[in-house]
Every structure is written in structure tokens, then in C-alpha cells.
Structure 1
């Protein structure tokens, strides 16, 4: 009798809800979102060889709009709480006697098949999280850091700037300089400004050619009551030419395509990924960080299986790093950068460059409209 009564109450609540236009609209939208994966599954051709992938996705009529709609499709599914988690698990570290604690820094390990020796996504270290940031680096033995923002870049947007959440200068960049984040000490062994892995910039003040700074750091753990531990050498890159929410800014002698491929060369040659563990961060650790990670993971899959599936890569990445790749032009940037790599490696004919140039121009013309 009790269960019968409860069902009657539930039915009455449902009837009242159906009479509420707002609730009815929300339910209808939820049903649409819940039904979309099945429809998309029928259209999704899955992972494809590079040439077929290019023909289907980039050489097709109205390819630009198709990639944009694909991004919105992924985003809608992601924000449906019934289908996906909204946050990935924070990394936890031992805290003595077998206890675990969550690090203050918002960081996740990307545990995907093509993450190489290790791949970590993080927010930019703040004045409250920098200590745990270095704890993460040292405890996980992460030997490479790629910063795709620079310290205090958030001050370029005074309306949204918050000193408590801005990325700070968390590493020393002058030879011999030392910074302490107890119990860790970080010293700079050497540092140089570069425009590419093979070209040292003539000076760090030369804005037209300066692309990034490469620093060799040594991290030591200092605790007088515990046994001494070996230091950890870390290669650190601070990439200066990727504004928040946008795309990399090319130099006077490079195109956007050159800059995109150049990013990957920095990761491979200066930071030795996928053979060494790598942490990537920007400000929030989702937009620029997510785009770069999606490119790296997709290319690793292509190297291993000779197959490409950008949509699936981003969906899987978001299971570990919530909301990775934060807008559709970053998503299209992922597509185009992968294609540029394939052209350079000979997987695509050089004639594909003409089509890619058209898509790059369309992308570069579209972004300013979104900010006006």
C-alpha cells in the first residue's frame, strides 16, 4: 500500500511538472541531448586513415561549418550531467602513514593509450597552489613542463583579472637564480630565448622573433628530518605567443600553420615528449592546454595505428580534463594542425596545402567576429 501511494504521489508531481512550460521545455531538451549520441553514432565513420580522414572532413563542401557543428555536438553531450562527469579527479599524493590528500593545484593525469611516458594537464600555478604544483612535479618525476601562457598575462584583461587566481612567476629564468617553495628549491641552471628548437633568438626583447624561453631547472627536496633525495632536472618552456582563448600568434616570417607545427617541434625536440613525462598548463588548463593535448594524442594514434579520429580524441580527453578545448575555433585549430603535420610527413599530398590555406584563412577571419 505504501509503494502504491508513493507511485501515486510521483505521478501527481509528474503531471504538475508537465503543466509547467519551463520544466517541460527542459525535459524535451534533455531528451534531445540523450537521443543525440545514437544519431551521431550512425553518422560517425570512426577512426580513418589520414588521406580518407582529410577527404571526409577537410576537403568536403562546407567543411568549416561541419567542424564547428561537430564541436557543438560534443559540447552539448559534455554538459549533459547524465552522460558525463563534470570534473576529472584531482591528483592525490601520499601524506604520511598511508593517508592521501588532494593537491591544491587543479591538475589531472591524462591516462589515455597514447599519452607516452606521461601527460598531465594543470591550471597555471597561483600564489596559493604553487607549493603543491612543485610537489606534483617532484613526486610524479615530471621532467618537462610546457607553459602556453606566461606569468600574470591575466592582467591584460582588467575586467576579469583576479590576483588570487592569476598565474605567477613560479620558476627562475636567470642562470643561477633560485626560488624556494618549501620544502622544494628550484634553481635555474641555464635559460635561453628561442624562435624554434634550432634557432636561438637574438634577444629576449626582440618581440618579432621571440617565441618561447627554454630553461633548464633543478628541483631539490629539503626536509632536515627526512633522508635526502635525488634532485630532479626539469626542462621548462614558456611559450609567449598564444593569447588566452585564441590561437598562436605567428612571427613576421611564419604563418599560422608554421606556428602550429612549430609548437609540436618544441614539445618533441626541447621537451622530449612522448619519451619523457610532460605537464602542460595555461591559465585554466582547459583551452590552450586541451587543444595542444588533443593534437599530440591524435598524432600519436596516427603514428601507431595510421588512423585519425579528432572527435573521439577530444571526448576521451574530456573524461580526464573537464571541458578541454574550450571553443570551436580551437577545435578547428586541432583539425588543421594535424593535417599540416600529415602534409609535412608525406601522409597527404602537397596539393592539400591549398585547401588548408583556405580553411586557415576562414578560421582567422572568423575569430575577430566572435570578439566584436
Structure 2
């Protein structure tokens, strides 16, 4: 049975998955590959391993991606990002050069700022590949600013996001010439960090019901998100933070990123988009979205996922700068290879379903 067919889209299945997370946090659930999936994964593994043996190919592909980005002129960006560049919304952007396109931006239906020019603005973009497979849809967004916390949680509620993947620290330490050290805020503290903690953002209450730190440095939190005076039941959200992924860089190995995939791949895309953010919401965010998308599509039978150049291009047309560096593009290949090897090894050891 394919992984997608084993996933229930119901809210009850999501609740059940949360109840089991404390048992599985240090050993994410594995699933067995069908015969067809095993064949596809083996083919994809060979393809990506061959590419890793020829790093000049990967370098050339990334140069092509960078050349494509340079074709978008600043004047074009101004025309495609009118809402983000409106004077009333400028303060909601963490970085002036990382803003969502009008055509696929997330639009808030409810906002505390009712001025028409605001347009329900939040610095966030819907991104996905046009796959025939039932692949996840993502919301790629910046690390929230203190004055956008309420908007952030409104976005989570309105889109019924089952997962938030946070790929940044709140504050990064930098050193200049080994002499001067300074701190740079990368993301606001938009959630209660400790178990039992709760915070209120406007009319939205967020409570941390459960927390676990895994062996690969992931911090997993089970959050309950509710709106005051709402008849809707609280939204259950899995918050996954990976603080060890350096800004503009890559992790030392792929284990934590692959664990994020393992913790989320069993969730049906029908539950709602996966929300992914770092600081700007493009480099680390784009890298993870590409890894998740490629693996999910291969498992579902969409072998066009082998074309990572196309995947990153599609993402960049939906949010500028997705996957920022050559090292990040190379890391995507390594993570996909490592996860495919793990899936194939598990199946060959007896986990494969009939």
C-alpha cells in the first residue's frame, strides 16, 4: 500500500499522531515501501548518487538557477509585489528585499488593521509544485515580527496548518574578525516555549501542551491554538524547531532534516499546508521544502521530482530566492540520497509490505 493511501485526512488521525509523538520522538515512524515504491526509490537513488559523484553538474545547475533569477528586474518586482510594497505594509517585512508576489501571497481574511490598502497582508507565500501526485502544499514565510504575531497565528488558523517547521534560532551570534561579537535577532518568540505555558495574541490563545527534544536536536512541541469567542474546536499544531541550522549555510549532516520529513510525511496534504519558516523564509525554508517535495513525489510515483532544477525554479517563481546558496542546493541532493538509502535499507531488511 502506498504511503499516501495509508494516511487518513481526518482530524482524529492527527490527534492520534500527536498522542504517539512522545513515544516516537527519538525514533520517528518508518513506513514500508511497496514493490513499486522500492523500484522508484532505487531508480531515484542511483540518479542522485551519480550526480553527487559529479559535483560540477550540480554547480552548473545552480549557476543556471542564479542566471534565471537575474532576469527578474527590480522594476518587475515592483509590479509583482504591489501589496507588499504599499507604505502601510512595509513595516511588516523583516527584510525589504524578501517580499511575496501578489499572485500567490497568503491573504488574511481577518486582520486587526482594516485599512483597504492593507489587503490582509502578511509576508507569506503559498508554494507547491504542479504535481499529479497528492503532494504537500507549503506556506513559506518569514520569522514573525512582534507586531505580526497575531497575524501569524490568524494565518495558521485560517489555513488549518497542522505543522509549523521553524528552521532558525531566535537570535544568532556573529563575530567580526574574531574580535567583536554581536547578536542579531532572526525571529520573534511567537510561541510559549515551556510545557504548560500559554500566550495570548489579540484574540488568539496559544498553549504548549507537550514538548520533547530529540537526539538530533529537534525541539517538538504540541500546541493548542484557539480563538476567543469561537465555536470552532482548538487547532492542534505540531511545532518543530531545528535551531542548529546556520543562517545562509547547511547542517553538518542530514539526520535532523530527514527526521523532520519522517515526522511530517505521514500527514495527509488534505489537512492543510505545512508552514515552513526560517528568518527570511527563502534559504533554509526553500531547501527544506525542496527536500520534502522531492521525497514525497518520488514515493507517490511522480518521477519528474528528479528534476530539482525545475522544482527550485517553480518555487522561486512563487517566492523570490528560494534555496539561496550552492551549498544548500548540494545539501538537498545529500538529504534525498540519505533518506532514500534509509527507506530502501529498511524495506530490504524485511519492512517492505506485500
Give the TM-score range, shorter chain.
0.5 to 0.7
Q: Take 1:194 and 1:116, find their aligned partners in 2: how far apart are those partners?
A: 26
Q: Take 1:324 and 1:337, find their aligned partners in 2: how far apart are those partners?
A: 17
Asked if the contact 1:294/1:314 (under 8 Å) is kept, the reply is: yes
CA distance 1:213–1:275, shift in 2 (3 Å): farther
- What secondary structure sits across from 1:326 in the alignment? coil
1:215 to 221, 233, 255: 221
Gaps of 5+ in 2: 1-39, 81-99, 349-354
2:312 to 306, 311, 314: 314
Q: Take 1:181 and 1:157, find their aligned partners in 2: how far apart are those partners?
A: 34
Q: Take 1:175 and 1:298, find their aligned partners in 2: how far apart are those partners?
A: 34
| Correspondence for 1:305 | 301
Q: Take 1:88 and 1:235, find their aligned partners in 2: how far apart are those partners?
A: 27
1:122 correspondence with 2:141: yes
Q: Deviations over 1:4-45 (max 9, x none)?
A: xxxxxxxxxxxxxxxxxxxxxxxxxxxxxxxxxxxxxxxxxx
Two-structure CA RMSD over aligned residues (Å): 3.3
| Correspondence for 1:188 | 208
Q: Take 2:66 and 2:314, find their aligned partners in 1: how far apart are those partners?
A: 13
Asked if the contact 1:268/1:274 (under 8 Å) is kept, the reply is: no
Give, in angstroms, the shift of residue 286 of structure 1: 0.6
Asked if the contact 1:172/1:187 (under 8 Å) is kept, the reply is: yes
Asked if the contact 1:149/1:283 (under 8 Å) is kept, the reply is: yes
Asked if the contact 1:105/1:125 (under 8 Å) is kept, the reply is: no
| Correspondence for 2:265 | 268
| Correspondence for 1:22 | none
Give, in angstroms, the shift of residue 331 of structure 1: 0.3
Q: Deviations over 1:236-292 (max 9, x none)?
A: 11112211111113xxxxxx24444334223336xx364643101111111111001
Q: Deviations over 1:130-172 (max 9, x none)?
A: 221111001111121010112223x446888665xx3011111
2:167 to 137, 148, 158: 148
| Correspondence for 2:125 | 108
Q: Take 2:310 and 2:200, find their aligned partners in 1: how far apart are those partners?
A: 41
How many equivalent residue pairs? 273
Give, in angstroms, the shift of residue 336 of structure 1: 1.8
- What secondary structure sits across from 2:122 in the alignment? coil
The TM-score normalised by the length of structure 1 is 0.64
Q: Deviations over 1:271-320 (max 9, x none)?
A: x3646431011111111110010111112221223511111111111121
Please tell me whether Structure 1 or Structure 2 has the larger radius of gyration of its CA atoms: 1
Give, in angstroms, the shift of residue 111 of structure 1: 3.7
Give, in angstroms, the shift of residue 125 of structure 1: 0.9
The TM-score normalised by the length of structure 2 is 0.67
Give, in angstroms, the shift of residue 63 of structure 1: 1.2
Gaps of 5+ in 1: 1-48, 197-210, 250-255, 351-372
| Bigger relative CO (Cα 8 Å, ≥ 6 apart) | 2
| Correspondence for 2:109 | 94
CA distance 1:212–1:103, shift in 2 (3 Å): farther
2:292 to 293, 296, 299: 296
